[in-house]
Amino acid sequence: MLENVGQGQTIWISPDFLGWQRESYAADPIPPALMERSHEIWNHAKQKLDTSMGAFDRSELVTWLNRAVNQRYKVIFKEYNIKAVASRLGIGKGRPPKILARLGVVQPLMLNTLTDLRNSVEHEDADPPASHRCNELVELVWYFLRTTDSLSLSRVYDSELLSQNPGPEPVGYADLSFCFDPPAIQVDSGSFPVGLVSESRNEEWAPLKVDIPPRVLSDFVKVSGTLLLKDGALRVWRDYFGRAR
């Protein structure tokens, strides 16, 4: 029974609460120059499209596009301590796009393709892609930068989620704090429907180490604590990055 759960013990929360609406959030600004630098590099690459591109021009374009993407990786990995987050979640191996894909930030296929093209052109003296392919790569990187601009401008550290209820009955809520050094998600306060909380382990649910014993009031469980980085916690981090974009 949840009433018997004591301080420091673990309960599990269903990820269904991630479907709740975000009512408010707070964020720390990130220096805009870090975001703008990737666009400056992209613009330099795009200028190649305005010329009659030979093989060397197309090779250079691929190199600069890859550099723009890597610059954005650098910002996101540093500001969100991605290596530590991914390591704690057990998803830390692989190229940056693979790790970011597991966190719900990007789709990795075309970004990996760009890296492979750059490596073959720069290290194997392979023929660069054709002009029409270069146009596609320019657009690909533009979309990647645009979809990650928000992540590169501010870092959300507090988020309040509220369940939707058109009637007068109580609603569920979760006030979450996000830390990155070291990685942690704190449920500062929460009120969850009893069906979304269990004292029994469920690998699909997010484990919460409680700060104070949970209180069951009517059909809701009031709780606070720290989400442990295992089991279903990955879905909470994916939701975080999805909302941040």
Q: What is the pLDDT of residues 115-170, one digit of tens each?
A: 999 999 988 888 889 989 999 999 999 999 999 999 999 999 999 999 977 565 66
Report the pLDDT value the prediction gives residue 51, as an integer from 0 to 100. 73
Q: What is the mean pLDDT of residues 29-41?
A: 97
- Cα gap 44→28, rounded to integer Å: 30
- Cα gap 47→148, rounded to integer Å: 22
- Cα gap 55→206, rounded to integer Å: 52
Confidence bin at 50 (pLDDT 50/70/90)? confident
Report the pLDDT value the prediction gives residue 167, as an integer from 0 to 100. 60
Instruction: Quickly count: other Cβ atoms within 10 Å of residue 93's Cβ.
Output: 9
Residue with token string 């890296």 = 115
Q: Give the end-to-end CA distance of the chain in Å, rounded to a whole number.
A: 38
Q: Residue 18 — φ and ψ, nearest 5°?
A: -70, -15
- Cα gap 108→101, rounded to integer Å: 6
Name residue 184's beta-bridge partners: 179
Q: Residue 159 — φ and ψ, nearest 5°?
A: -145, 130
Beta strand residue intervals within the chain, DSSP E: 10-13, 21-29, 154-162, 173-180, 183-193, 197-198, 206-210, 215-217, 220-227
- Asked whether the CA dihedral 95, 123, 117, 40 is positive or negative, the reply is positive
Contact between 190 and 170 (Cβ < 8 Å): no
Confidence bin at 48 (pLDDT 50/70/90)? confident
Question: Coil, strand or helix: which one is 212?
Answer: coil
Amino acid at 53: M
Residue 1 pLDDT exceeds 80: no
Instruction: Quickly count: other Cβ atoms within 10 Å of residue 23's Cβ.
Output: 11
Contact between 238 and 43 (Cβ < 8 Å): no
Residue 28 pLDDT exceeds 70: yes
Instruction: Quickly count: other Cβ atoms within 10 Å of residue 60's Cβ.
Output: 17
Q: Look up residue 152 and give its two tokens.
A: 């590169």
Q: Look up residue 74 and give its two tokens.
A: 């650098």
Contact between 100 and 242 (Cβ < 8 Å): no
Report the pLDDT value the prediction gives residue 38, as an integer from 0 to 100. 98
Average pLDDT, the chain: 91
Name residue 159's beta-bridge partners: 25, 176
- Asked whether the CA dihedral 40, 147, 173, 88 is positive or negative, the reply is negative
Contact between 238 and 86 (Cβ < 8 Å): no
